Amino acid sequence: MDIQKIRRDFPALGKKWNGKYPVYLDNACMTLKPEPVIDAMNEYYTEYPVCGGRSIHKMAKKVDEKVTLSREKFQKFLGASCPEEIIFTRNTTEGLNLVANSLDFKNGDIVLTTDREHNSNLVPWQVQAHKRGVKHIIVYSNPDNTFDLDAFSGLFDKNKNVRLVSMAHTANLDGYTIPVKEIIKIAHDNGALMMLDGAQSAPHKHVDVKALDVDFFALSVHKMVGPTGMGVLYGKHHLLEEIAPFIVGGDTVSDTTYESAKFLPTPEKFEAGLQNYAGIIGSGAAVDYISGVGLSNIEEHEKRLNTIITKGIKDMPGLKIIGPEDPNLRGGIISFTVELPKGGDAHDIALILDETENIEVRSGAFCVHSWFNYRKCEAAVRASLYLYNTEDEAKKFVDTLGKTIGLFSP
């Protein structure tokens, strides 16, 4: 990886704030956008900014061609069997909600999740519990936040109605990736479907949905150098054909009467209304970009930077890293709680890092409020890495964090 060449593709990294360039370490929230993605979206807006899927004129056909091409790119990117298994959504949240609302859950059906799910994979099951009597059971992690495979397996001995296992592939809390092959095998051996929240895995490591044998996989394109308001849901074709659409209306049907509607096949029946065509086209460009860099290169690069940061901060007073000690098990995420003798919380740390050196991190509960509330912990700081971050930035973060901690120490 030529990091400096990559960095030149991202205009935001070349803009100074208060006389200094940004050190962007909030990639788990959203990644920056490279010029090829911006150019692809601008091409749509300047050359053929019209509807797809309806009209038969030249510009409309161009949109259809570009949308089809992007769908095929995601098929290849995820290892899906056919383009029809790729549904364009707004984000991971919509993909997870689509499945939660479309599967024919019955009263007493069980959904298993981990104890550190993003709200997007927690709240839908709470809603389904109230609406349809779904029972939501949590698989609690080991003390170091790794997955307890024995506890997970044991739940099937006690619960015979597990319909779906829905889990974060890689956690946005600490970057830990669950042993997904083993989990999927156990789920399938017990007659349950498997869905993965891939928001934090697809941008950072190679994912082959067919090799994993996962039934549903949702991701957010804005976390993989793509446009905002774009996501993808993969589903096995026979399952997508069986389940009912979540949002219906224009573009989901081929014909209607006053009393009935004839629904289109997948993926169209799940893509209601006028689509974000610029976003879909930009999403295809994002796939091209990170595929060109190489997922294995990205994954190893992040681990190298995480190792630098972990070594630099693990013995800092008042900080406690969340998750496994080994940075190789946390990919590109370093989260830590803050407890200092002279005050100063996670938000103070994040604010000072930004104000002094333009180091941009996340502070708070990262949409995993349930995990923090269970442990009576209010907030943490999270630094998250991506392909354009450098070793110098990692060292600068460590150095500036040490000075910041010193402000709240005797």
- Catalytic site positions: 367
What lies within 8 Å, CB to CB, of 249 at 6+ separation is: 272, 273
> Would you list the DSSP string of 285-343?
HHHHHHHHH-HHHHHHHHHHHHHHHHHHHTTSTTEEE-S-SSGGGSTTEEEEEE--TT-
- Using the CB atoms, write b or e for 156-186: b if 16+ within 10 Å: beeeeebbbbbbbbbbbbbbbbbebeebbeb
CA-based nearest residue to 166, from 187, 182, 146 = 187
Radius of gyration of the chain (CA): 22
Q: What DSSP state is assigned to residue 170?
A: B
Q: Which of 75, 12, 69 is nearest to 40 (CA)?
A: 69
CA-nearest of 277, 248, 275, 276 to 264 is 248
User: CA distances (Å), 157 to each of 9, 162, 170, 190, in order?
Assistant: 52, 10, 26, 9
**Burial (CB count <10 Å: 0-12, 13-18, 19+), residue 4:** exposed
Cis link prior to 245 (omega < 30° from 0)?
no
Question: From CA 173, how far away is CA 336, in angstroms rounded?
Answer: 10
Transcribe 211-248 into DSSP letters: HHT-SEEEEEGGGTT--TT-EEEEE-HHHHHHSPPSS-
Give CA–CA dist 204/302, Å, rounded.
8
Length of the chain: 410
